[in-house]
Amino acid sequence: MIMSRLLTIKEAASYLNVSEMSIRRWTNSGKLKCLRVGQKNERRFRIEDIKSYIAGDAPSAITSLELPEESHVAHFYKNQEEGLEMSLASVKKGLDQGEVVVAVVPKKKGNTLKTKLHEQGVLVDILEAQQILTVFDGCKSPDEQIAFIDRIIEISENFKGFRLVGDMVWTRDKKWNVEMLRMLENLTNHQRKNLTAKYVCQYDLGIFSHDEAFLAMQTHNYTIYNEKLNKCPYYELAPK
């Protein structure tokens, strides 16, 4: 019996045109079969298993999601890998589309995000110097945060749009309470009116409570959960 060569995770990702993080998540969930080899228990893939996966009803990768214009999206994620993948995909897509992009994330994630962008050929230092890309860890209060974003929105008027990606764990690092979080999300809904803009706010379900998750659903017109984008029936624009 002749054994076919096994693919590495990098080769499998290239074959499926997705990120390595998607491959890891699909294997962890059992959606994509893999073999474990060597002392490090590394993933290896048979080409027939990958073809079977393609032929089946594979879910869309989170990186392929198209966000509607004027959307304020709450992305609920269950692990750091998924959270980073969505942040990276959304920031990269915004830059590719000629938008001004802001990523509001904890410092450690910000450094990782910029490293990943470098690896994909993004000239991070130049884009930051031109204020086309801003990566920072948030302000001390909702009013300061909105004022900071307003200044960047003014710059975006000369570009194809504005995009904000925020991993809301940064609000934990700043010691915000739930009312401050609610205030920011409500102010954001008024800020984004009549803008060519997309906002993605990420909520780690291992950190935020059920009440905070429901707050997110009340203040966002779309949600992403389990790689699916849906309109949110609980959304309601609160008074300013």
> What tokens does 96 get?
């590719």
Structural domain spans, the chain = 9-55, 64-231
Q: Which of 169, 170, 168 shows the shortest CA–CA distance to 219?
A: 168
Q: Give Cβ neighbours of residue 19 (< 8 Å, ≥ 6 apart).
A: 13, 61, 63, 85, 88, 89
pLDDT in tens, the chain (240 residues): 344 679 999 999 888 888 888 898 888 877 888 998 888 889 999 888 888 888 765 544 566 788 998 899 999 999 898 999 899 999 999 999 999 999 999 999 999 999 999 988 899 999 999 999 999 999 999 999 999 999 999 999 889 999 999 999 999 999 999 999 999 999 999 999 888 899 999 999 999 999 999 999 999 999 999 888 999 999 999 987
Question: Which of 107, 106, 66, 57 lies closest to 89, judged by CA?
Answer: 66
Give CA–CA dist 85/117, Å, rounded.
Answer: 11
What is the helix, strand, coil percentage profile of the chain, to 5?
45, 20, 35
Q: Is 86 exposed, middle or buried (0-12, 13-18, 19+ CB in 10 A)?
A: buried
CA angle 212, 217, 219 (to 5 degrees): 95
Beta strand 35-37 with 133-136 is unpaired
The architecture (CATH level 2) of 64-231 comes to 3-Layer(aba) Sandwich (3.40)
Any idea which residue has 């910000």 for tokens? 110
58: alpha, beta or left? (left if phi > 0; alpha if psi -120 to 50): beta
Residue 49: both structure tokens together: 């298993």
pTM over 0.85: no
The predicted-structure confidence for 46-92, as pLDDT tens digits, reads as follows: 888 888 888 765 544 566 788 998 899 999 999 898 999 899 999 99
Asked if residue 229 lies in contact with residue 73, where contact means CB atoms within 8 angstroms, the answer is yes
